[in-house]
Amino acid sequence: MKTNKLLAAAVLAVAIGVPIAAYVEDLSVPQSASPGVPFIHGFPTAEVSNQAELASLDHADDWLNSPPLSASALRGKVVLVDFWTYTCINWLRTLPYVRAWDEKYRNQGLVVIGVHAPEFAFEKDLDNVRRAVKDMRVDYPVAVDNDHVIWRAFNNIEWPALYFIDAQGRVRHHYSGEGAYDQSEMVIQELLTEAGISGVSHEPASVDGRGFEAAADWSDLKSPENYIGYGRTQNFTSPGGAVLDQPSVYMLPARLRLNDWALAGDWTMKRQAAALNKPNGRIAYRFHARDLHLVMGPAAPGTAVKFRVLIDGRPPGAAHGFDVDEQGNGTVTEQRLYQLIRQPKPIADRQFEIEFLDPGVEVFSFTFG
């Protein structure tokens, strides 16, 4: 196993919360041999390819924070391409690092490009992406890739994923998932040095992830991501099972095992989401993690849906997340990820319940940290 594989495997062995995290490398590229960073692919003097990856930027649906960027315009720059989608908690936890690298190395020749490739249909809405870019302080160029054209050109398979491209347009390193931040920054430093930039700092950038961006509590994380829509859900335990694409009244079972979940009330189970038809619909989930997040939003833009959260049958108190108060009260106003629980230690199996006081909410996925 090559050095870069070992480094990635060590990190990803811990990152059990990444839904499909896997280290992927292009085995057709020779393994090299950069003196300072042995896990960079290829050679600085290797023949320049046709740059199909960077050339795919021409197919972006739109650009935010920048005019359109092309492979020719980026020649001579070190480029970091970051595949993301704004509701992905795994990407959100990498964001403070990517933001810090952009701030530290931008004036030394690094260009960070965030390629927004949506997972859910509502993430194709440019207004939603614009709002996320502003709220999340994404200041570097963003290419909107609604049809995953750029994604396919890079042979990408997941979010988040980083591609490190040298000044000649060659992909020299690739990392998928969370972690390996020191190694990733070393790659940036080495590629800048290869490009003839002098005085590149070898000290790591200062990073302080807070809120959604705080690192997961991997040691206590025993609940993986789960989807609500019937297309990809697991462990749905409402009696009678799911009724597909039709309104149905659901009930909670007498007991939930760890990572089981259920609906109560009048819902329509769709491929990507569950939609609440009448007030006071509930979702229950048995989980084991510090953080619990829910991707959801109003079905009709501009509307709001009030909700109340309980943990083990009581208001969350000190365990409340960013989007609820101590009594568990909150309001769904946008299609995004909501942090509902961030509990102090000790972490144990807990039962989460959310009751929506109004109809008209769509619920897409649970994630944990």
- How does pLDDT run across 350-360, given as a tens digit for each residue? 999 999 999 99
Tell me how far apart the alpha carbons of residues 330 and 26 are, in angstroms, rounded to a whole number: 45
User: For residue 52, what pLDDT is reported?
Assistant: 82
Tell me how far apart the alpha carbons of residues 355 and 155 are, in angstroms, rounded to a whole number: 41
- Pick from 18, 341, 21: nearest CA to 175: 21
Element (H, E) at 191: helix 181-194
Which whole-number Å values give the CA distances from 206 to 100, 164, 179, 286, in the listed order?
7, 20, 15, 36
Q: Which tens digit of pLDDT belongs to each residue from 8-30?
A: 333 333 332 333 232 223 322 22
User: For residue 321, what pLDDT is reported?
Assistant: 97
- Identify the three-state secondary structure at position 124: helix
- The reply to whether 3-213 and 218-368 are identical in fold is no
Residue 33 has pLDDT above 50, yes or no: no
Q: What's the chain's average pLDDT?
A: 89
The stretch 65-81 carries a mean pLDDT of 97
Residue 148 has pLDDT above 60, yes or no: yes
User: For residue 210, what pLDDT is reported?
Assistant: 92
- As assigned by CATH, the class of the 3-213 domain is alpha beta
The stretch 40-54 carries a mean pLDDT of 54
Homologous superfamily of 218-368 in CATH? Galactose-binding domain-like (2.60.120.260)
Under the banding of pLDDT at 50, 70 and 90, the label for residue 342 is very high
The stretch 171-189 carries a mean pLDDT of 97
Query: For residues 56 and 153, is the Cβ–Cβ distance under 8 A?
Result: yes
Q: Which tens digit of pLDDT belongs to each residue from 199-240?
A: 999 999 999 899 999 999 999 999 999 999 999 999 999 999
User: For residue 51, what pLDDT is reported?
Assistant: 67
**pTM (2 d.p.):** 0.86
User: For residue 48, what pLDDT is reported?
Assistant: 41
Parse the chain into domains and list their residue ranges.
Answer: 3-213, 218-368
Between 242 and 25, the higher pLDDT residue: 242
**Crossing angle of helices 89-105 and 181-194, rounded to 10°:** 30
Residue 69 has pLDDT above 70, yes or no: yes
DSSP codes joined into one string, 346-366: SP--EEEEEEESSS-EEEEEE
Residue 311 has pLDDT above 70, yes or no: yes
